[in-house]
Amino acid sequence: MGIKVFDSNKDYVKIRHVQGSFAKLVVWPGVGSKNCCFIVTTAKSGQSSIVHTHEGSEDVFMITKGKATVVDVDSGREYKVKEGDVVFVEPGTNHMVKYEDEYVSVGCIAPPDPKQLERIISETTSTSKKRSCQHLTQKRLFLSGRTLTDKN
């Protein structure tokens, strides 16, 4: 039990999420979370997220600045969203976001997505940081009943 406070301007892991930029993974199994990942996404007008899915995880995010179009890639349906809107993406839905203004959102992926965490670990450049991320992530996912394949 306890409380942790993170400074989202410095306490994060970069994740490849926005083409030409990155999102900030602030809370995740590597810092003690067993049940969710908390992400801050910033983007510029004209950028878009990569097409992605979370097989066994829900993705929920709130737009705190700007406008965007959320695309359900599977159905082709597009949803216009603006500051204050909350988006819920069901597990297994291929989706992306097209940013129309300076954009900021905060969101949660729950439970943590092992494939996304594997990608984050593989993209980590520091060997010691990579090992630390793998160890903490495997431990947290084990405690939550999920698994992460160690590729090293």
| Longest Cα separation, the chain | 43
pLDDT tens by residue, 119-142:
766 765 544 444 445 545 554 444
- Parallel, antiparallel or unpaired: strands 37-43 and 23-27: antiparallel
What is the pLDDT, as a whole number, of residue 144? 47
Q: What is the average per-residue pLDDT within 22-49?
A: 92
What is the pLDDT, as a whole number, of residue 149? 41
What is the pLDDT, as a whole number, of residue 96? 96
pLDDT tens by residue, 75-118:
999 999 999 999 999 999 999 999 999 999 999 999 988 877 77
What is the pLDDT, as a whole number, of residue 62? 98
Encoded amino acid at 69, one letter:
T
Q: Decide if 62 contacts 105 (C-beta within 8 A).
A: yes
pTM above 0.85, yes or no: no
Domain spans of the chain?
13-112
Angle between helices 127-143 and 114-123 (to 10 degrees): 170
Mean residue pLDDT of the chain comes to: 83
CATH of 13-112, one of 2.60.40.1120, 1.10.3720.10, 3.50.50.60, 2.60.120.10: 2.60.120.10
Answer whether residue 1 shows pLDDT above 70.
no
What is the pLDDT, as a whole number, of residue 121? 67
Dihedral sign (CA 74, 121, 118, 141)? negative
What is the DSSP track for 83-107?
Answer: TT-EEEE-TT--EEEEE-SSEEEEE
Torsion of CA 25, 30, 31, 35, to 10 degrees: 80
Answer whether residue 9 shows pLDDT above 80.
yes
